[in-house]
Amino acid sequence: MIESLKRLAGTLLVIFQTRLELLSNEMEEERLRIGQMLLYGGIALFFFGLGTILLTALIVALFWDSYRLQVLIILTGAYFVAGLLAWSALRRAAGEKSKLFSASLAELDDDLDRLEPRP
């Protein structure tokens, strides 16, 4: 009986260690993914901003003699609308549920089912 309890305790410790390692791996993957997204996002924002400034200067220069104020008003409005759309998309993405620890939770559910079948 004591040997059986020792084996059970050992098995439970191994399962617990495996789950902790899985949690650790998921946290590291999420950290790397977020870091990569921030880096690429920053680079993209820099170049999109630079391109937008240069395109604006080009369009204003093309219409300098006749419609420069109208062009500036239209471009300012378009940039404002684009900013609002991006803000809305950011809020929607921030509100979505994270998939962090989903694999670990699924494995823990499987472990519980094996130990104690639920109806």
Predicted pLDDT of residue 115: 65
Neighbours of 19 (CB within 10 A): 15
Domain assignments of the chain as residue spans, ordered by start: 2-115
Per-residue pLDDT of the chain (119 residues; tens, 9 = 90+): 888 888 888 888 888 888 888 888 888 888 898 899 989 988 998 998 999 999 999 999 999 899 889 998 999 899 999 889 988 988 888 887 766 667 767 776 776 676 665 55
Q: What are the DSSP calls for the chain, one per residue?
A: -HHHHHHHHHHHHHHHHHHHHHHHHHHHHHHHHHHHHHHHHHHHHHHHHHHHHHHHHHHHHHTTTTSHHHHHHHHHHHHHHHHHHHHHHHHHHHHSPP-TTHHHHHHHHHHHHHHS---
Cα separation, 15 vs 82, whole angstroms: 50
